[in-house]
Amino acid sequence: MKIAFLGLGNMGLPMALNLIKAGYFVSGFDLVKGQMDALKAAGGSPVNSAIEAVGDAQIVITMLPASRHVEDLYLGESGLLMIVQPQTLLIDCSTISPEVSRKIEALARVRGLSMIDAPVSGGTAGAQAGSLTFMVGGAVNDVEKARPLLEKMGKNIFHAGTSGSGQTVKVCNNMLLGIQMLGTSEALKLGISNGVNPQVLSEIMMQSSGRNWVLELYNPCPGVMENVPSSKNYVGGFGVDLMLKDLSLAVENAQELEVSVRLGLLAKELYAMHSSAGNGQLDFSSIFNLPEN
C-alpha cells in the first residue's frame, strides 16, 4: 500500500517514520528540505510536490500547522481533491477548525472520496514512540479502514462520531486542559502565598476534590515533580503558542455555534498575554509564572 504523507514537521516526520518501520511505502512532501532528507535517510521516498506524492497513493495523510494550510492544500492551488485517485482515503491528522474539517470532507464526498479527521494528542514524544491518541471523526467504514495504519502511529484510536467530531473532541479537551492548568496554578500560588509547602498542598489536593490531570502528571510549580517541564525551566513539552492556537480554535468554534465559553475565552486571553511577553516557545505550564498584574 502506498501512502502519501504531506507535512513532515515535528509531528509528521516521526509519524511517517513509524509507518516506514511498519513496512509501508511512504512518499512524502514538506516545504522544508531538511525534513525530506530525514525521510529519505529512514527509507522513505521524498518527492518535489504534494501533487507528485499523491499520484498513485491509496492513502493520503496530512499533518500541517493550521486550518488555512489544510484548506489550501486540498482546495487551493494544489487542489488535491481534484487530483487524487478515486477510492483514495484522505486522513487529516492536523489540529484544525471542526468547521473547516467538515467543509473539506463534504467537498471530498461530492467527488466520491472518503475523508476522516484524526487529530492527535501525545506530543512529539508520543509521535516518536508510536503511542499517540487519535480522536477520529468520519464514517465507520473509513475509520476501520484507517485503523491498522493509525495503530502503527498510536496506542489509542477513538472513533468520536461523524466528520469533524475528532477535531471537536480535540478542541474541547485542550480547552479544558488550558483552563485546568490556569486553575491549578492559581490554587498553588494562593497556597504558597499563605506559606503552605506546594508539595504538601499538591498531595492533599490530589486526594481531595481538586484532583485533576495537571496535579497528577504535570505540576506547574517547579520542584514539586521530577521530569516535568516546570522542573526543567519549562523547556520541552507542549508550547504556549500551541495551547494558544487550540484555545483560539475553541473560541472561534464556540462563536460560530453561539455557545458561551467564558472560561475558554479568558484562558485564551491569558495565554496570549503570556505569549506576547516572549514565552510562546516555553511549555504551557509556564503560565504558572504569569505576573500578578
Between residues 32 and 204, which has the closer beta carbon with respect to ligand NAD? 32
Closest CB to ligand NAD among residues 10, 162: 10
Does residue 214 belong to the site contacting ligand NAD (CB under 6 A)? no
Q: According to CB under 6 A, which one of 16, 20, 50, 57 is a site residue for ligand NAD? A: 50
Residue by residue, what is the 3-state secondary structure of the chain? CEEEEECCCCCHHHHHHHHHHCCCEEEEECCCHHHHHHHHHCCCEECCCHHHHHCCCCEEEECCCCHHHHHHHHHCCCCHHHHCCCCCEEEECCCCCHHHHHHHHHHHHHCCCEEEECCEECHHHHHHHCCEEEEEECCHHHHHHHHHHHCCCEEEEEEEECCCHHHHHHHHHHHHHHHHHHHHHHHHHHHHHCCCCHHHHHHHHHCCCCCCHHHHHCCCCCCCCCCCHHHHCCCCCCEHHHHHHHHHHHHHHHHHHCCCCHHHHHHHHHHHHHHHHHHCCCEHHHHHHCCCC
Task: Give the number of other Cβ atoms within 10 Å of residue 10's Cβ.
Answer: 14
**Closest distance to ligand NAD from the beta carbon of 164 (Å):** 15
Q: Is 46 in the site for ligand NAD (CB under 6 A)?
A: no
- Nearest residue to ligand NAD by CB is 9
Pairwise CA distance, residues 26 & 24, whole Å:
6
Pick the closer one to ligand NAD by CB: 39 or 89: 39
Closest CB to ligand NAD among residues 8, 201: 8
Question: Are 238 and 95 within 8 A, CB to CB?
Answer: no
Task: Map the footprint of ligand NAD across residues 162-191, applying CB under 6 A.
Answer: none
Q: Does 242 bind ligand NAD (CB under 6 A)?
A: yes
Smaller CB separation from ligand NAD, 59 or 188: 59
Binding status of residue 202 toward ligand NAD by CB under 6 A: no
Catalytic residue among 40, 170, 189, 268: 170
- From the number of C-beta atoms within 10 Å of its C-beta (0-12, 13-18, 19+), residue 156 rates as middle
**Residue closer to ligand NAD, measured from CB, 73 or 90:** 73
Q: Is 31 in the site for ligand NAD (CB under 6 A)?
A: yes
Alpha-carbon span 279 to 10, nearest angstrom = 19
Q: Is 236 in the site for ligand NAD (CB under 6 A)?
A: no
Residue 124 in the binding site for ligand NAD (CB under 6 A) = yes
Contact segment (CB under 6 A) with ligand NAD among 10-18, 151-159, 224-232, 255-263 equals: 10-18
- Is residue 95 a contact residue for ligand NAD (CB under 6 A)? yes
Q: How far is the CB of 234 from ligand NAD (least distance, A)?
A: 14
Query: Site size for ligand NAD, by CB under 6 A?
Result: 27
170 is catalytic: yes
Using CB under 6 A, pick the residue from 120, 157, 188, 267 that binds ligand NAD. Answer: 120
E strands, 248-291, are: none
User: In the complex, what is the shortest distance from the CB of residue 32 to ligand NAD, in angstroms, rounded to a whole number?
Assistant: 5
Q: Which residues bind ligand NAD (CB under 6 A)?
A: 6-12, 29-32, 35, 50, 63-66, 69, 73, 94-95, 120, 123-124, 238, 242, 245
Q: What residues are labeled active site?
A: 170
